[in-house]
Amino acid sequence: MLKQLQFAAFTCGLLSTGLQAAPAQKPPAQLQPLVAAMELRLEIANDVARSKWHSGKPVQDSERERQVIQNAESRAGEFKLTGGEVRDFMTAQMEANKMVQYARLEQWRETGQSPEKPDLNLTEGIRGRLDTLLPVLMQSYSAFQPYRSDAGCSGWVQSEIQRQAGDPVIVTALQRAAGDLCQTSTTH
């Protein structure tokens, strides 16, 4: 009986997070590298959170976000993307990144355990890694463009997130980062 209740609770949990049954057709090969790049950016958010924990800096850094978006928008043409597409995509990535940072800071507060200091400082190493990842993200996003309006898109994305990420904080943040990947209508 207990196992049946656990299974029922697990199933309800999956349904409440918006996960769908496995998509009918195989996802395009372009999805895996996109989700992997988005996940890598969120893994870097763990280091950003550790750095901010030790420096006392706030998670919200509007000036840095503005710089990242402007930099990405200035490169949109290189990847055959519009400025608006890049702005929306990068905004989602940064919002997801902040979700990870807030979650980690809260975990450390709740447990009373301070994380170890990151090996890299925020302004050089961590930002350098994020800046290096930007063209990878944009190239992967550009390659996925033809599939964004496909009826199977949402199912593909959710399945790929579940396949790649194991950490519940990263899964939730990836769902936020991927929230606008699929277009539900032809107007965007």
Q: Which domains does the chain have, with CATH numbers?
A: 29-177 (1.20.59.10)
Buried/exposed code over 118-147 (b: 16+ C-beta within 10 A; e: otherwise): bebebeeebbebbeebbeebbbbbbbbeeb
Q: Which tops the pLDDT comparison, 36 or 126?
A: 36
Q: What is the pLDDT of residues 98-154, one digit of tens each?
A: 999 999 999 999 999 888 877 656 667 888 888 899 999 999 999 999 999 999 999
Contact criterion met (CB below 8 Å) for 141 and 34? yes
| pLDDT > 70: percent of the chain | 82
Cα-based angle 70, 36, 22 (whole degrees, multiple of 5):
120
- Cα dihedral 143, 62, 97, 13 sign: negative
pTM higher than 0.85, yes or no? Answer: no
- Cα dihedral 108, 164, 98, 183 sign: negative
